[in-house]
Structures are given as C-alpha cells and as structure tokens.
Copies of this chain bind each other. A is one copy, B any other.
Amino acid sequence: MKYIFGVDLGGTTVKMGLFNESGEVLEKWEIKTVKDNNGAKILPDIAESIKAKAAEKNLSNEDVIGVGIGAPGPIDSDGNIYGAPNLGWGTFNVSDNLSKLTGYKVKTGNDANVAALGEMWMGGGKGYKSIVMVTLGTGVGGGVIIDGKIVAGAKGAGGEIGHIFMDENETETCGCGKKGCLEQYGSATGVVRLANRRLAKDDKASVLRGKSVDCKAVWDAVKEGDEVAIEIANEFGKILGRGLGIIACVVNPEAFVIGGGVSKAGNIIIDYIIDNFKETTFRGCKETDFKLATLGNDAGIYGAAKMLLD
C-alpha cells in the first residue's frame, strides 16, 4: 500500500491528511497558517509537518506517491498560482516550490476545484466522472471536473461560477466589483440580501420579521411554510436554476454537487433549484443529477490527495 498527503491551505489554518491509495484517510491534523513576510513561511511549515509525519509513520520515499495541495487563488494545471492576496502571495509555481522542500512529487490546485475533485472521489459525487460542484458559502465557488480531472482554466479561473453574470438590473455591487453575479443571489450572504429586500417590499406577515435574518432562519421558515420565506426561496431557486442550466449547456456534467453552508438546509434547496433548471436548460441536459456534498470541510484534503492518483 502507498500513501499520499492531502493539504488544504486556508487563510487561518492548514488542514492536512494522510491517505492510502484506496481513499481512506488514516490521520488528520492541522497547523496554523503563518502569513508573516508575505506568507514566506507557509510552504516551509507545511513541508516540515509532512516530513515529521512521514518520519513518525516510518514511511520511506518509495511509500509516498506525493503531496496534493489546494490553495486559495487562481492556479493553473501546471501549479502556477496567479497571486493569493489572502496569503500575501504573488505569482510563482507552488508545485515546484513544495516539491523542492519535501522531496516529493507535488500537485497543486485551486481550493474550490480541489474540493470538487474530493467530492467526486469520496463524497456526494462518488460514482461520477464528470461533475460541477457548487459551493454556496459566504460566496459562491465552484469546481468543474471532466473525466476525473479538474478544469483549472488558462489562468486558473475555471469553475469561477460565482461570478457568472445573471441580472443586468441588479443595483448592488458584488465583492468582485461587478453587479448581478450569481454569488449575489446564491451565497448565504445572497440569501440574506434577497430576504431583506423582500421584507422591505411590504409588510406581509412573516416569522422572519422583527429579528436579524440569517440564511438558516430563512430556510427554517421555508420548512415551516412561511409564505414570505417561500417567495425568497423561489427567487434563490430561479437564479440558481438558471445559472446551473447555463453551466450544463457548456460542459453537460453527469451531476451537480451542492455544498457550502447554504446546503446545510438539506435537499429542500435542490427542490427550489431543479424546476427552474429544467425549465431553462437545453433539453439534452434536463436529466442531470443533483446531489448534496457530503465531505464538508474535509473535501479539500480528499481532493488534494486524489490529484496524485491520475
């Protein structure tokens, strides 16, 4: 049996996992992300932690297939990162750098893309080879996997589906500076925005009134049958369904895998998406499956490890 290290590099912590080739995670641990000096210590810290774990487990160089790492920034299929402001990083080759530090083969991908690969391998997308993962969190992220491989994009912007342009009448500005991005409707923040906008429109009774609304409260109210909350969910589903309908016309995946905080509401979010999806997508794409993600915060380390198994 051979082994792989999977690394999910975030702005606060680095999650790490030791996997065997079958996709079992044998051990998980975390280290801090030290961002001083433009993140100069990040890769050396990761390398040190990997080497310590390999020594602890008595793994020879022949036992280790390599290291996969997901990082927050645009990363192409050669491992070049085109700047990561979150980490203080500029443009350089992550794979080459970490490979020199560890002595292992290294593959690098964008964190959202790598999480998508993890969900395909061992999560909600298990059994499929081609999926689009849609992460509905603080923002909307995505990852496109075709025939088991990440579509990284020419400049690492593959799967940046949070910023597809959905509504020319939008008046508020997205974090990216544009107006009308999918993220403005589909993220947790987006759901709250839709809720506040709807609540301000009139004074129809709703359990959502008289408190500070968060995303969970909206979906709880939908489950209780609150009419205003259902209107909000319909608006969310309309934009998400159309957006995913467009994506299906481009790559026609076997399945969409929906993850992120918003997806904690459960299958009800798929119910609100799927009718709008079927109504607006190409007929050949209507039967695309919809699944919920299952790996949660571990998707990144799984996908990172999987990159080494191609």
Contact of A250 with B165 in the complex, beta carbons under 8 Å: no
**B147:A252 contact, CB within 8 angstroms:** no
Task: Please report the C-alpha to C-alpha distance between residue A77 and residue B146 in the assembled complex, in whole angstroms.
Answer: 11
User: What would 25 A/B residue contacts be, using CB atoms closer than 8 Å?
Assistant: A77-B147, A144-B251, A147-B149, A151-B252, A152-B252, A153-B284, A154-B254, A154-B288, A155-B284, A155-B287, A156-B284, A157-B248, A157-B249, A158-B250, A158-B252, A160-B282, A160-B284, A161-B249, A163-B249, A165-B281, A176-B282, A177-B283, A247-B250, A250-B250, A250-B251
Report whether A176 and B283 are in contact in the complex, using a CB–CB cutoff of 8 Å. Answer: yes
In the complex, are the beta carbons of B246 and A155 less than 8 A apart? no
A242 at the interface (CB under 8 A from B): yes
What 7 A-B pairs are tightest by C-beta distance, nearest first?
A153-B252, A157-B284, A157-B252, A163-B282, A165-B280, A154-B254, A164-B246
Using a CB–CB cutoff of 8 Å, the interface residues on chain A facing chain B are 74, 77, 82, 130, 144, 146-147, 149, 151-161, 163-165, 176-178, 242, 245-254, 280-285, 287-288
A interface secondary structure, majority = loop
Q: Are A285 and B160 in contact (CB under 8 A)?
A: yes
Contact A280 B250 (CB under 8 A): no
Pairwise interchain contact B157-A282, C-beta atoms closer than 8 A: yes
- Chain B residues closer than 8 Å to A130, beta-carbon distance: 153-154
Question: How close is A149's CB to chain B, nearest CB, in angstroms?
Answer: 8
Give the distance in Å from the alpha carbon of A149 to the alpha carbon of B74 in the complex: 22
- A23–B280 Cα distance when bound, in Å, is 40
Question: Smallest distance from the beta carbon of A183 to chain B beta carbons, Å?
Answer: 10
Query: Nearest chain B CB to A120's CB is how many angstroms away?
Result: 13
Q: Known pairs A153-B252, A160-B252, A165-B246; list 8 more (Cβ under 8 Å).
A: A82-B284, A152-B252, A156-B252, A158-B250, A159-B250, A160-B284, A160-B285, A164-B246
